């Protein structure tokens, strides 16, 4: 039922004329201005609000339907969300994309200029944060009642610029002009404790007497589903000083800055996103952020549970909380604290409820990315939680002792507390012990987790371990990012139903024999390169877009570029197929090795550009500030997708899926989801090279790996590294070459020759335009599996045990 009928509200119109009326009305009443005097910012905010209004109605109906159903909810806890721009998406999902543009033109507004003011909320680092956004999109699309919880950082991931080729970071004050997508919900504010000590009362109950109190102020953004009326939300918390944190006596005494000290201190908790992807860093403020997210979100989840339920035994039946990596793992001891200390439940019941409620997704295998916290820091900040963690650990270790009597080594490895060289809390161990399901994010990753990183736990609880291969939103990463290809696919398949049922893309296979379709396919790819505007649209566009990390091996790609450069220099007369190599991505500000690679890429790009013997054939481009928006422009233009991490290091990757879906061919190792991509698109349509995981482990841990031996035996490799060492690239990048010749942690030199040979295969394949076109179409046709809709269905069936709730009119 339309709630508005009962309220006497007028439904919003679906025509351009009605949209235009609503624009004028919003401009007048919400911005206090008129078309004649409106700034572009006024026009943008008004457009956003007018689109938002059309989703608000669906949101109200969704909330009503969910309340009536009292279903099992999915609560997704994540320290990061990379939502991408909201305007274009919300126009598509609300069905207003066409009428909004007509209405704007009617009012004399330039739609492109107005839409250009939409800002991407960069509340995440990379794949993990974008995965969270894709899963929310798919949950809404599949009508699964869900709420995402996160932190509303004042400053998102830094803006990257280059100065003399080196990365410089600038703050991302993304809400400087306000954020029209956000609904503040001050009534749902929460109180969060930190520090202090614990006391036992006369009944033996524990009380936590905090040393600091901070307020959590929620607001939410809409998460509409595509092709359905479901609109879920993502609720983000912002830290505020409590009332008592303003020191009036200091203010009265003229100490204005000191008067707000405490409030500023509190607000620092949600000030900035930590920009360290896949690395562990042990700062107290980060632990505070994590607890802040967990404490606010759990209280909100419980508040929502109590709207329709009274019995704690029902809690896990109505609630599943998915932990996006270990960052929100404090939710486990926090729920225990709430149940035992505040609700008075016995330990055993509280523990059973807690374990049934949580599930944990692990996103890494890198040992340095497994979070641990020094016990002394943990204890100071969260004294009661440490007691609870100790109790959980004691009971858990008793279980292990029972199962494996006398196996002291196993106890030491599995303990939630690490003893040597320093006492630390191991968050991954806590996350495995306190949940009903643990999953990796690609087949290989899940298998390696169970065989290596979490092996002892898999021995103890084999059925707890699952695989859920990651996926991507087809709405954002093909429909919105690649409108021309989407139209062509719709034309080819005769319907656009594939957008919500991506397996239908297999229907494109029969069109590989259709000359006209193939011609259009190529024309679309070319037009997307023109739209991107970086390099010759007829060149092979070779794309590596991802965070900078040594394990991802941008340095290997760079060695290939230098090799090509030197080959062209050595034999200038030959016909080389023009290639544009595109890099985009950020390095963590303190990750010097990664920043050296960035600087060297820019130097090599400049040297090649300045060399007329080489620049007609080879161009290196590196647009700064890679984010969801830039990715959406690059991905549709790519011919070749570089997925060249050392086997066994990339948990899954999701850029690999986005590129394949948009018709790029992959050059890659047997790592993460590359394996599943190759299995599906076919070995003939994928360029495979390099060591596999067992070979890499053997070489690395056999202890006999000598990068210098590869350098000495391979003339082209030696010459590439020597060029760097000799300062041929503006004197930049010696650190990169030295690191490769020193330890070469990620076996770059061992994979060099195989990679170079494989790139020659790429060149040959590229020369055969017809064959390449077939492979490109087949990559798209066979990528349906990588829809986040499939991922969410896997979670729903295997881990969450939830069903859809239909939102009816």
User: Which residues are annotated as catalytic?
Assistant: 363, 546-547, 552, 654, 658
Q: Select from 55-63, 449-457, 652-660, 715-723 the region that touches ligand B1H (CB under 6 A).
A: 652-660
User: What are the DSSP calls for 221-236, one per residue?
Assistant: EEEEPTTSS-EEEEEE
**439 φ, ψ (degrees, to nearest 5):** -135, 150
Residue 595 in the binding site for ligand B1H (CB under 6 A): no
Judged by beta carbon, residue 276 or residue 503, the one nearer ligand B1H is: 276
Residues 86, 89, 289, 364: which binds ligand B1H (CB under 6 A)?
A: 364
Number of residues that bind ligand B1H (CB under 6 A): 20
* Rounded Cα–Cα distance for residues 179 and 45 (Å): 8
Which residue(s) pair with 374 in the sheet? Answer: 424
Torsion of CA 162, 167, 171, 177, to 10 degrees: 30
Residue 653 in the binding site for ligand B1H (CB under 6 A): yes
How many Å separate Cα 180 from the centre of its chain? 23
Q: Residues near 510 by Cβ (< 8 Å), separated by ≥ 6?
A: none
Q: Select from 185-193, 270-278, 772-780, 799-807 the region that touches ligand B1H (CB under 6 A).
A: 270-278
* Rounded Cα–Cα distance for residues 729 and 605 (Å): 9
Residues 20, 550, 650, 751: which binds ligand B1H (CB under 6 A)?
A: 650
Residue 274 in the binding site for ligand B1H (CB under 6 A): yes
Judged by beta carbon, residue 635 or residue 765, the one nearer ligand B1H is: 635
β-strands 540-545, 579-584 pairing: parallel
CA distances from 359 to 142, 397, 796 (A): 20, 20, 12
Find, among 363, 359, 358, the residue nearest to 280 by Cα.
363
Judged by beta carbon, residue 79 or residue 234, the one nearer ligand B1H is: 79
Q: Select from 233-241, 274-282, 692-700, 752-760 the region that touches ligand B1H (CB under 6 A).
A: 274-282
Residue 293 in the binding site for ligand B1H (CB under 6 A): no
Residues 182, 212, 276, 501: which binds ligand B1H (CB under 6 A)?
A: 276
Residues 90, 141, 473, 654: which binds ligand B1H (CB under 6 A)?
A: 654
Residues 154, 172, 277, 300: which binds ligand B1H (CB under 6 A)?
A: 277
Judged by beta carbon, residue 127 or residue 636, the one nearer ligand B1H is: 127
Q: Residues near 327 by Cβ (< 8 Å), separated by ≥ 6?
A: 78, 79, 80, 290, 293, 371
Judged by beta carbon, residue 331 or residue 441, the one nearer ligand B1H is: 441
Answer whether 490's CB lies under 8 Å from 496's CB.
Answer: yes
Could you say which residues in the range 76-135 bind ligand B1H, by CB under 6 A?
A: 125, 127-128, 131
CA distances from 305 to 70, 301, 332, 771 (A): 9, 6, 17, 57
Judged by beta carbon, residue 274 or residue 711, the one nearer ligand B1H is: 274
Answer whether 149's CB lies under 8 Å from 569's CB.
Answer: no
Range 185-197 burial, b when 16+ CB lie within 10 A, else e: eeebbbebbbebe
> Beta-carbon neighbour count of residue 374 at 10 Å?
16
Judged by beta carbon, residue 278 or residue 580, the one nearer ligand B1H is: 278
Indicate left, alpha or beta for 179 from its phi (over 0: left) and psi (-120 to 50: alpha).
beta
Could you say which residues in the range 665-694 bind ligand B1H, by CB under 6 A?
A: 672
> Beta-carbon neighbour count of residue 615 at 10 Å?
15
Binding flags for ligand B1H, 730-769, as an x/- string (CB under 6 A): ----------------------------------------
CA distances from 249 to 253, 254, 257, 261, 267 (A): 6, 9, 12, 13, 21
Judged by beta carbon, residue 287 or residue 620, the one nearer ligand B1H is: 287
Residues 295, 652, 748, 779: which binds ligand B1H (CB under 6 A)?
A: 652
Could you say which residues in the range 178-237 bind ligand B1H, by CB under 6 A?
A: none
Question: Which run of H or of E encompasses 169?
Answer: strand 166-170
Chain residue at closest Cβ approach to ligand B1H: 127
Closest CB 655 distance from ligand B1H, rounded Å: 8
Residue 363 in the binding site for ligand B1H (CB under 6 A): yes
* Rounded Cα–Cα distance for residues 443 and 675 (Å): 8
Q: Select from 337-345, 375-383, 646-654, 662-670 the region that touches ligand B1H (CB under 6 A).
A: 646-654
Judged by beta carbon, residue 122 or residue 653, the one nearer ligand B1H is: 653
* Rounded Cα–Cα distance for residues 391 and 385 (Å): 10
Binding flags for ligand B1H, 37-66, as an x/- string (CB under 6 A): ------------------------------
Judged by beta carbon, residue 145 or residue 328, the one nearer ligand B1H is: 328
Could you say which residues in the range 505-564 bind ligand B1H, by CB under 6 A?
A: none
Could you say which residues in the range 466-505 bind ligand B1H, by CB under 6 A?
A: 470
For the chain, report the end-to-end CA distance as a whole number of angstroms.
Answer: 5
Residue 323 in the binding site for ligand B1H (CB under 6 A): no
421 cis-preceded (ω within 30 degrees of 0): yes
Closest CB 207 distance from ligand B1H, rounded Å: 32
Could you say which residues in the range 125-164 bind ligand B1H, by CB under 6 A?
A: 125, 127-128, 131
Closest CB 673 distance from ligand B1H, rounded Å: 7
* Rounded Cα–Cα distance for residues 534 and 582 (Å): 8
Q: Select from 105-113, 329-337, 644-652, 714-722 the region that touches ligand B1H (CB under 6 A).
A: 644-652
Closest CB 327 distance from ligand B1H, rounded Å: 7
Question: Which run of H or of E encompasses 298?
Answer: helix 284-308
Judged by beta carbon, residue 127 or residue 648, the one nearer ligand B1H is: 127
Find, among 692, 697, 668, 693, the residue nearest to 681 by Cα.
668
Residue 441 in the binding site for ligand B1H (CB under 6 A): yes
Closest CB 202 distance from ligand B1H, rounded Å: 43
* Rounded Cα–Cα distance for residues 474 and 588 (Å): 29
Interface residues with ligand B1H (CB under 6 A) are 125, 127-128, 131, 274, 276-278, 325, 363-364, 369, 441, 470, 650-654, 672
């Amino acid at each position: 039922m339309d709630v508005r009928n009962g309220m006497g509200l007028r439904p919003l119109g679906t025509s351009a004329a009605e949209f235009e009326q609503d624009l004028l009305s919003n401009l007048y009443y919400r911005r206090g201005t008129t078309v004649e005097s409106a700034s572009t910012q006024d026009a943008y905010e008004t457009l956003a609000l007018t689109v938002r209004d059309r989703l608000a109605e669906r949101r109200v109906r969704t909330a009503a339907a969910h309340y009536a159903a009292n279903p099992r909810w999915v609560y997704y806890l994540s320290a990061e969300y990379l939502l991408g721009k909201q305007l274009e998406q919300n126009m598509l999902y609300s069905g207003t994309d066409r009428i909004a543009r007509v209405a704007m033109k009617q009012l004399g507004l330039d739609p492109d200029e107005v839409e250009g003011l939409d800002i991407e909320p960069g509340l995440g680092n990379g794949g993990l944060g974008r995965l969270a956004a894709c899963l929310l999109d798919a949950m809404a699309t599949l009508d699964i009642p869900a709420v995402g919880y996160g932190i509303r950082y004042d400053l998102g991931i830094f803006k990257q610029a280059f100065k003399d080729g080196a990365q410089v970071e600038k703050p991302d004050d993304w809400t400087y002009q306000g954020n029209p997508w956000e609904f503040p919900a001050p009534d749902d504010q929460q109180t969060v404790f930190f520090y202090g000590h614990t006391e036992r009362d006369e009944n033996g109950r524990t009380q936590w007497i905090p040393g600091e109190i901070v307020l959590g102020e929620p607001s939410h953004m809409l998460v509409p589903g595509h092709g359905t009326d479901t609109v879920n939300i993502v609720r983000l918390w912002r830290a505020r000083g409590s009332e008592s944190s303003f020191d009036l006596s200091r203010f009265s005494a003229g100490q204005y800055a000191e008067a707000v000290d405490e409030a500023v201190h509190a607000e620092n908790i949600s000030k900035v996103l930590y920009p360290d992807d896949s690395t562990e860093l042990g700062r107290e403020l980060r632990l505070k952020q994590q607890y802040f997210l967990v404490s606010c979100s759990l209280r909100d989840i419980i508040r929502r549970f109590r709207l329709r339920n009274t019995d704690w035994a029902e809690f896990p039946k109505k609630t599943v909380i998915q932990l996006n990596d270990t960052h929100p793992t404090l939710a486990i001891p926090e729920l225990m604290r709430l149940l035992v200390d505040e609700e008075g439940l016995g330990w055993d019941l509280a523990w059973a409820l807690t374990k049934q409620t949580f599930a944990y997704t692990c996103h890494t295998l890198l040992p340095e990315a497994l979070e641990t916290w020094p016990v002394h820091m943990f204890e100071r900040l969260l004294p009661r939680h440490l007691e609870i963690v100790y109790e959980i650990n004691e009971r858990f270790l008793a279980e292990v002792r029972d199962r494996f009597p006398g196996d002291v080594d196993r106890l030491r490895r599995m303990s939630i507390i690490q003893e040597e060289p320093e006492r630390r809390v191991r968050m991954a161990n806590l996350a495995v012990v306190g949940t009903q399901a643990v999953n990796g994010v690609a087949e290989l990753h899940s298998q390696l987790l169970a065989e290596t990183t979490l092996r002892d736990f898999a021995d103890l609880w084999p059925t707890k371990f699952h695989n859920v291969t990651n996926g991507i939103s087809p709405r954002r990463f093909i429909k919105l990012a690649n409108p021309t290809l989407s139209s062509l696919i719709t034309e080819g398949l005769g319907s656009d139903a594939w957008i919500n049922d991506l397996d239908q893309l297999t229907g494109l296979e029969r069109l590989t024999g259709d000359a006209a379709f193939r011609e259009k396919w190529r024309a679309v790819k070319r037009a997307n390169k023109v739209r991107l505007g970086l390099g010759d649209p007829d060149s092979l566009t070779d794309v590596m877009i991802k965070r900078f990390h040594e394990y991802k091996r941008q340095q290997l790609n760079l060695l290939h570029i230098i090799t090509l450069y030197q080959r062209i220099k050595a034999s200038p007369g030959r016909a080389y197929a023009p290639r544009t190599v595109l890099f985009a991505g950020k390095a963590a500000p303190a990750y010097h090795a990664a920043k050296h690679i960035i600087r060297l890429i820019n130097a090599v790009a400049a040297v090649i550009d300045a060399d007329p013997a080489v620049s007609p054939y080879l161009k290196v481009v590196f647009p700064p500030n890679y984010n969801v928006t830039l990715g959406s422009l690059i991905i549709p233009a790519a011919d070749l997708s570089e997925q060249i991490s050392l086997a066994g290091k990339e948990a899954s990757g999701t850029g690999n899926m986005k590129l394949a879906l948009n018709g790029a061919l992959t050059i890659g190792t047997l790592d993460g989801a590359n394996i599943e991509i190759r299995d599906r698109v076919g070995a003939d349509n994928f360029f495979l090279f390099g060591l596999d995981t067992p070979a890499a482990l053997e070489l690395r841990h056999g202890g006999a790996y000598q990068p210098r031996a590869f350098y000495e035996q391979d003339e082209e490799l030696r010459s590439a590294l020597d060029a760097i060492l000799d300062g041929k690239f503006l004197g930049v990048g010696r650190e990169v070459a030295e690191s490769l010749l020193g330890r070469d942690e990620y076996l770059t030199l061992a994979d060099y020759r195989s990679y170079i040979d494989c790139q020659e295969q790429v060149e040959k394949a590229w020369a055969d335009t017809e064959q390449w076109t077939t492979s490109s179409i087949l990559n798209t046709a066979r990528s349906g599996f990588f829809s986040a809709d499939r991922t969410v269905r896997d979670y729903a069936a295997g881990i969450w045990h939830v069903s859809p709730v239909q939102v009816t009119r």
